[in-house]
């Protein structure tokens, strides 16, 4: 499989839904195909963009606009991108789709109860203990994509299988050749 053009894959879902695991599997699979990608992981970038690490609506809007700008710039310069970010509002992801023609949205669907049980970073626990606010699914709404390019079952789908399905979508859309 050869690279036809650069592209962006935005992997969205509730915190602890399995986004990062799917992203890692996708990046690994793309590397196997000889495609180098930049990974834009929201937790890492948020620390760089904001010394305060705030999560209010204004901060989120600025952060996701910046993320879409960076992803779009990379794609324009021939670098494919995997974005691993909740982006709780549809409008955040829609801005990226408008900016990047070679864009797909992958929704890792997982019930909130399962995400709370997993909670690897402790954000749900912090929210339930009153130490964190603005956690998607609890204090702020998460707006799932109404028509994602791909829906992944975050409770049962094996991440390498999800990664292969993402590659199928990229191929079908003409962003990768066989």
Taking phi first (over 0 means left), then psi (-120 to 50 degrees means alpha), and beta for anything else, what does residue 50 get?
Answer: beta
pLDDT at 3 over 80: no
- What pLDDT, on the 0 to 100 scale, is given for residue 50? 62
The CA distance from 148 to 125, in Å, is: 29
Closest to 2 in 3D by CA, of 22, 23, 30: 30
Question: Bridge partners of 80?
Answer: 37
pLDDT digits (tens, 9 = 90+) for 135-160: 888 888 999 999 999 999 999 999 99
Place of tokens 């890692």: 24
pLDDT, averaged across the chain:
89
Largest CA distance in the chain: 51
* DSSP β-bridge partners for residue 84: 11, 41
Q: What are the E-state strand segments in 13-70?
A: 37-41
Give this prediction's pTM. Answer: 0.90
pLDDT, tens digit, for every residue of 63-118? 889 899 999 999 999 999 999 999 999 999 999 999 999 999 999 999 999 999 99
Q: What percent of the chain has pLDDT over 70?
A: 89
**Taking 80 as the threshold, does the pLDDT of residue 49 lie above it?**
no
- CA atoms of 117 and 137, how far apart (whole Å): 13
8-172, what's its fold?
Rossmann fold (3.40.50)
């Amino acid at each position: 499989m050869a690279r036809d053009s650069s592209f962006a894959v935005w992997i969205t879902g509730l915190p602890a839904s399995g986004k990062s695991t799917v992203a890692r599997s996708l990046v690994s699979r793309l590397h196997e195909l000889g495609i180098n990608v930049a990974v834009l992981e929201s937790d890492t970038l948020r620390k760089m963009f904001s010394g305060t690490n705030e999560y209010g609506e204004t901060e989120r809007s600025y952060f996701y606009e910046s993320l879409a700008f960076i992803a779009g710039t990379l794609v324009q310069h021939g670098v494919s991108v995997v974005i691993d970010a909740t982006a709780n509002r549809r409008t955040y992801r829609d801005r990226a789709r408008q900016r990047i023609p070679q864009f797909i949205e992958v929704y890792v669907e997982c019930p909130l109860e399962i995400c709370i049980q997993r909670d690897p970073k402790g954000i749900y626990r912090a929210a339930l203990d009153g130490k964190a606010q603005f956690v998607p699914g609890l204090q702020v709404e998460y707006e799932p994509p109404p028509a994602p390019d791909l829906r992944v079952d975050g409770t049962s789908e094996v991440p390498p299988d999800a990664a292969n399905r993402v590659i199928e979508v990229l191929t079908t859309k003409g962003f990768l050749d066989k």
